[in-house]
Amino acid sequence: MIRSSAVEMASALAKGEITSVALTQLHFDRIASVDTDVHAFLHLDTDGALAQAAAVDAKRAKGEKLSPLAGIPLALKDVLVQKGIPTTCGSKILEGWRPPYDSTVVTNLKNNDIIILGKTNMDEFAMGSSTENSAYGPTHNPWDLSRIPGGSGGGSAAALAAFEAPLAIGTDTGGSIRQPAAVTGTVGVKPTYGGVSRYGLVAFSSSLDQAGPCARTVLDTALLHEAIAGHDPRDSTSINAPVPNVVAAAKSGDVKGMKIGVVKELNGDGYQPGVRARFDESLELLAKAGAEIVEVSCPNFEYALAAYYLIAPSECSSNLARFDAMRYGLRVGDVDGASAEEVMNLTREVGFGREVKRRIILGTYALSSGYYDAYYGSAQKVRTLITQDFTSAFTKADVLVSPTCPTTAFKIGEKSNDPLAMYLNDIATIPVNMAGIGGMSLPSGVADEDGLPVGFQIMSPVMKDERMYLVGAALEAALLSKWGAPILSKAPSLGGLA
């Protein structure tokens, strides 16, 4: 049962073939069996999840109308607050903090009776592409335990790939949902910015952060998207408009007559041969399904990475100023005679990791007097140009596509001492965040040279997220027909985790 899709699990629950309590316990048993090796979870809410599952079973027994995902377990990235449950953001500075309220995403999950198993590992404050920056140790890719599961949401993606949960929530600031999905053979979606509330999402870069759904199939992801999305007056950036009909699109998968634009600037050199081969094959399958493949140019994308690494650190330096040891979280050096400034400095020195400190310093410099216009201001101008490139491209194509990542999963430690090499992992995903549009990654096969999964990225205009699901469902169906089994069946015993 744990290897089934969420839709299949929901069907079994509806037919009375299994209870939510039993299904939840099966996943806790799986976690107990494999998570010592994978390290996808930071905290499990065993009692709370089983109590929630029992309540769903009681509702079902009474004949109450339930949501499509009622009773299905989920893994929650540890950057979204849940009342009374530890929230660390992968950082020592928040160790032991238990939020007094639920994020809107968690409220929506509870309202849909989705069972929250626990909180997943992540790069500290979502800053990273490998989940190696977590203060609690790295997460391992279930395909090969010596490799990274992507980042910053590697814990959520690894939980899916290791069959520890059928659903997960991630957040995406520059690719942190899509890149982990690509390297673990799972599906991840960054909705349109403002499509899912950021209330209760601990901020890294407020103009870029976006929570989104993760799963093992396109339809499962669409159902979760529908459950968590919608307008929220507590988030000033939330879009007051109907949620795109993503579920109907995922069920349709009809791309006949659609124009699919291959972004020239994201289709050049620098891709691993296996990544390139799977991308080209996917385009052929979409063409056979009735789509028209066209090339589009977005010339300012070449500046996206540099602009992102000025905007995101600048916003992070401001957002992380709140962790000052005065109100909650870690507090170091609080002895007689110590000033507030000394306590603050000692706490931030001990509590923040190397990558977080690097970005705070970079952002503070970019915002400083005499440099603001040259760095942060110029980066925002580039952002406008990138948005204009997307607007122009979407007049020529219904969706845009590219490989999600330049390579498959690399070895743990391979790039940890080379920040620029690490940052380049997000070269194809960052433009989506800069423009606030929707982005999806789904598996397109495995690379011939290493047998590891490859991701295919689909980009859609603002609040046209259903287009991603149309194309994603079409490609998923074509690949399933070609392979005869889901991609995770190709994993070599899930890194020895049978």
Per-residue pLDDT of the chain (498 residues; tens, 9 = 90+): 999 999 999 999 999 999 999 999 999 999 999 999 999 999 999 999 999 999 999 999 999 999 999 999 999 999 999 999 999 999 999 988 999 999 999 999 999 999 999 999 999 999 999 999 999 999 999 999 999 999 999 999 999 999 999 999 999 999 999 999 999 999 999 999 999 999 999 999 999 999 999 999 999 999 999 999 999 999 999 999 999 999 999 999 999 999 999 999 998 888 999 999 999 999 999 999 999 999 999 999 999 999 999 999 999 999 999 998 888 888 888 777 788 888 889 999 999 999 999 999 999 999 998 889 899 999 999 999 999 999 999 999 999 999 999 999 999 999 988 888 888 889 999 999 999 999 999 999 999 999 999 999 999 999 999 999 999 999 999 999 999 888 998 887 776 665
This prediction's pTM: 0.97
β partners of residue 212: 170
Q: For residue 308, report the phi and psi dihedrals to the nearest 5 degrees.
A: -60, -45
Distance CA 135, CA 114 (A): 28
Q: Which domain holds residue 15?
A: 6-301+383-496
Tokens of 463: 């609040």
The set of catalytic residues is 77, 152, 176
Q: Is residue 344 part of a domain?
A: no
What is the structure's pLDDT at 338?
Answer: 85
Q: Is residue 408 part of a domain?
A: yes
CB 183 within 8 A of CB 89: no
What is the edge-to-edge ordering of all strands in the sheet holding 211-215? 41-44, 115-120, 73-77, 167-171, 211-215, 187-190, 438-446, 453-460, 399-403, 259-263, 292-296
Tokens of 445: 């096969």
CATH number of the domain where residue 254 is located: 3.90.1300.10
| CA 286, chain centre distance (Å) | 25
What is the structure's pLDDT at 16?
Answer: 97
Distance CA 403, CA 439 (A): 12
Q: Is residue 357 part of a domain?
A: no
What is the structure's pLDDT at 137?
Answer: 97
Count how many domains the chain has. 1
Q: Is residue 89 part of a domain?
A: yes
Distance CA 344, CA 241 (A): 42
CB 159 within 8 A of CB 116: no
Q: Is residue 268 part of a domain?
A: yes
Q: Is residue 317 part of a domain?
A: no
For residues 397, 470, 280, 422, the Cα torsion angle rounded to the nearest 10 degrees is: 90
- 3-state DSSP assignment of residue 346: helix
Q: Is residue 360 part of a domain?
A: no
The number of residues in the chain equals 498
Q: Is residue 78 part of a domain?
A: yes
